Amino acid sequence: MEIGNKIGDISKIDSCFLPTPIERLNNISELYGKSVYIKRDDLTGHFFGGNKERKLEYIMADAMNENASVVVTVGSPSSNHNMITTGFANKLGLKTELIVIKKENMNNNEICNYNLCKKMGAIIHDVDVDEVKNKIKEVMKNLKEQGEKPYFIEGGGHNVFGTIGYINMVKELKKQIKKLDINPRSIALPVGTATTYAGIYMGCKIFDLDVEIIGISIARDKKRCIEEIENIIRKTEEYLELNEFTYDTKIKIHDEYIGEGYGIPSEEGEKTIKILAEKEGLVLDPIYNGKAMTGSLDLISKGKVEDPMIYLHTGGTTNIFSKLGDES
């Protein structure tokens, strides 16, 4: 059986509005003297769109196959994953419990995604970072004792099913670039849990798309990102029984655009958000895409990344409406 057919046989809930469009950023291309496109995965559809919905199409299908009654997951107050998981669960008639990691100098009630989770009815457990593992165990245990069937989802959808969501995206992308007559030399995207990068990396090999994949970390150092990518690739290979398929050394991660850390907007990222809004009428969030687009445009302008480049807009737009860090 071909690899693509194996992926096609995996349970999936069709939720996203696909294919998400690809458009050329004409004004940005002119400004930087490079050909820059954007794939609008911020328009996947529900819950304000984003890459998490692609992952959850497979993750939530597995939860339903396991007869789950409650989904449990973890993330920061600004987590897109927490917010979209809550919305997706509501569509399926499932309850949601969230373990939310407290952040210093951050009032959760000023975070848009946190409030959206509350509005959608999620039960929220605010904990310090060193309490997360124990709280997950406690919540899962309590739910089972209450007669519920809880299903745990790793933060950011960082699991095999999340990876498969973006393996499959490459199949969609390849059809689009053929139709649009684009010959991209690179794909750039934000890297958080690294699941999206891993899926695209595997998808390009499986579906024979010859591009360089550029990951811009918004949280972790380069070494940690690569370790996470390699780890989830191995797990996904095992799940798909791809014993002959192995990654190589071409994982490209840049960690110089993180700024002061995850969840803290960077000065350069804010400038990029303003430029994209003024030049293209395009809204980027300050946590993921503001920083990642900054890195992508900086690298391509310096000739470190080949064009045409396709930038993957992963969503998270709701965070533009939050008061984050020291932002006024």
pLDDT tens digits, one per residue of 89-127: 999 999 999 999 998 777 888 899 999 999 999 999 999
Give yes or no: residues 42 and 174 share one domain: yes
What residues make up the domain containing 214?
A: 3-51+160-321
CA 123 to chain centre: 23
Domain count across the chain: 2
Closest CA to 86 of 48, 44, 128, 131: 48
Q: Which of 93, 123, 157 is the last residue of a domain?
A: 157
Q: What is the pTM of this model?
A: 0.94
Q: Are residues 46 and 59 in the same domain?
A: no
Going through the chain in order, the beta strands assigned E by DSSP cover: 22-24, 36-40, 70-75, 95-101, 123-127, 150-153, 186-191, 212-217, 252-254, 309-313
Question: Coil, strand, or helix at residue 43?
Answer: helix
Q: Is position 326 within any domain?
A: no
Specify the pLDDT at position 106. 73
Q: Is the pLDDT of residue 327 over 50?
A: no
Give the per-residue pLDDT at 1: 37
Q: Is residue 289 part of a domain?
A: yes
State residue 80's pLDDT score: 95
| Average pLDDT, integer, range 1-11 | 73
Q: What average pLDDT does range 192-220 have in this prediction?
A: 96
Percent of the chain with pLDDT over 90: 87
pLDDT digits (tens, 9 = 90+) for 245-301: 666 668 999 999 999 998 889 999 999 999 999 999 999 999 999 999 999 999 999
Which of 138, 157, 176 marks a domain boundary?
157
User: What is the pLDDT at residue 105?
Assistant: 73
CATH of the domain at 80: 3.40.50.1100
Report d(CA 221, CA 203) in Å as an integer: 24
**What pLDDT, on the 0 to 100 scale, is given for residue 323?**
75
Final residue before a domain boundary, out of 157, 190, 213: 157
Residue 21: is its pLDDT beyond 50?
yes
Q: Residue 232 falls within a domain, yes or no?
A: yes
The number of beta carbons lying within 10 Å of the beta carbon of residue 251 is: 18
Lowest mean pLDDT among 211-225, 234-248, 274-288: 234-248
Cβ(32)–Cβ(48) below 8 Å: no
- The whole-chain average pLDDT of the chain stands at 94
pLDDT tens digits, residue range 33-85? 999 999 999 999 999 999 999 999 999 999 999 999 999 999 999 999 999 99
Residues 23 and 167 in one domain: yes
Neighbouring C-beta atoms of residue 154, cutoff 10 Å: 18
Tell me what pLDDT residue 326 has: 40
* Gyration radius of the chain's alpha carbons: 19
Q: Kindly state whether residues 301 and 185 are assigned to the same domain.
A: yes
pLDDT value, residue 4 = 61
Q: Are residues 146 and 65 in the same domain?
A: yes
The count of other CB atoms within 10 Å of the CB of residue 227 is 13
Per the structure block, which two tokens stand in for 120? 């959608």
Whether residue 129 sits in one domain with residue 61: yes
